[in-house]
Amino acid sequence: MSDGLWFWEEFTENLLYGYRVKEFIFSGESRFQKIDILKLGVFGKTLFLDRKIQSAQIDEFVFHEALVHPGIITHGSAEKVLIIGGGEGATLREVLRASSVKRAIMVDIDGELVELCRRHLPEWSQGAFEDPRAEVIIDDAYHYIKNTEEKFDLIISDLTEPLEGGPSVKLFTKEYYSLLREHLNEGGVITVQSGSSDPFYHKFFVSVSATLREVFPVVRPYWAFIFSFNMPWGFNLASTLTDPLDLDEDEIIRRINALGLESLRYLTPSLFLSSFSLPGYILSSLQKAEPITEENPFLWTESED
């Protein structure tokens, strides 16, 4: 190993990743989490929360296009969008790329993180925070959704995995997804960042899918390979009406053009469809997965059991 400063991420007690650091941009703590923003030799600027990688400059567009645009395309004409989490502003950026969107509300519990990302990671938001269609609310998402009367065409959950004692544990439960469905307009869609989909650490991914199936008539898990995460990553799309697999490639192309999304760097029409094709080990686990509830919450540290 070459000399220099290295940052170590303990993914689990059995898996350790090392990154060579070119520059420490910020290191500190908010009320809710440890925050490190580093410039790495391969990934460029990179955000770590509680010493776990969240987003890297080299491929954040892959993650955020995969999270946002399957839902945007499946709905086809979403005007009002709710983003839960997404402190870097890149999810908001991708939502606002769709010409149909007239209003986007982003709710994040950690205002300190949002400000740090605006200051140190402007490449992520690219002016999205200043867009007149955008509104940023610093609040607990559970509190927000229980107290708002607003309804949305699309809800995007861009939260960290549920760690013991963390604020996101109750935001992956059947009860919470039931609340979200109540705040969807007719034909509404939700997409959820759902953790790793590799052969060993995919229990959370399939558990989120099983939980959404308790609430929504259409649930489609899908995946993308995220280079900076060193593994394939899982997402779930749930809909009150439209099944994305009912869309053929011609219709997907039509919707992409109508929404002004021709310049997407990752998601192509054929990739949209193929991302819902899952390997046998995931399909097998989906059949056995149990829903997550407030009485039986999921803690990501248990996912290796």
Catalytically active residues are 158
**304/28 Cα distance (integer angstroms):** 29
Residue 70: other Cβ atoms inside 10 A:
26
Distance of CA 213 to the CA centre of its chain: 18
Please give the span between the terminal C-alpha atoms of the chain, in angstroms, as a whole number.
32
What the block records as the tokens of 243 is 């099944």
Residue 288: other Cβ atoms inside 10 A:
9
Give 62: exposed, middle or buried? Use CB within 10 Å, 0-12, 13-18, 19+. buried
What the block records as the tokens of 151 is 């309804």
Task: Answer whether 66's CB lies under 8 Å from 235's CB.
Answer: yes
What type of residue sits at position 103?
R
Residue 123: other Cβ atoms inside 10 A:
14
**133/95 Cα distance (integer angstroms):** 10
Residue 42: other Cβ atoms inside 10 A:
12
**108/114 Cα distance (integer angstroms):** 8
- Sign of torsion, CA 56 72 205 280? negative
- Sign of torsion, CA 86 90 92 94? negative
**185/285 Cα distance (integer angstroms):** 31
